[in-house]
Amino acid sequence: MRTLAIDCATEACSVALIDEGGLIAADHRVLGRGHAEHLVPMIAALPERGRADRIVVSLGAGSFTGVRIGIATAKALGYAWSAPVFGYPTLALVAAIASEDEGWSSLTVCMSGGHGEWFVQDFVRHGRPDGDLASCTPQAAVARGGDRPLAGSQAAALAEVLEHRVPARDQLPDASRIGLLDPALFSPVVTPIYGRGPDARLPA
């Protein structure tokens, strides 16, 4: 079975084509902005224009716009190719990569969130959650404490405030490494994980 993986929920935008034999081709770019303009051309540049038997896509938490772009693209391609679409949590992939590369049995992921907040969550190996996702201010993240190694786009910032009591790894998600995730984390319910409530409120 050939899988197309899409991850554009953070500053990074990545795609990968994978089969049972391993990685066929991949592209990973740190864009900050502009995911909508880059994602489809990146997929089209893959062998056979990225055509796959199934599609997996990052659900967030992350950039509100990036999450929606990734999901919309995955669903459109799934419809066109009659391929099933599955979603996975963004922070879980960050955790799985850092855990594999550093040999950490448990860790905390700290990523950029919205409006100056950070997304923070604890994990064990293979991206398995060991606590709930929280969107909090940097001050709240520091007050949260913890003695686990840190990974993510804000890991170094959190480690600095914690006086470097724990190791930190700057890590963004990479679609080419979805094979590290616990298979149970892939869900057929492909809806965004925004990680925080909406800013707009309906009138009472």
State which H helix or E strand residue 12 sits in.
strand 12-19
Per-domain residue ranges of the chain:
3-89+174-185, 91-169
Name 58's bridge partners. 88
CATH code, 91-169: 3.30.420.40
Q: What is the pLDDT of residues 49-92, one digit of tens each?
A: 999 999 999 999 999 999 999 999 999 999 999 999 999 999 99
Look at the pTM and tell me if it is higher than 0.95. no
Answer yes or no: same fold for 3-89+174-185 and 91-169: yes
Quote the mean pLDDT of the chain: 93
Rounded average pLDDT over 176-202 = 84
What fold, for 3-89+174-185?
A: Nucleotidyltransferase; domain 5 (3.30.420)
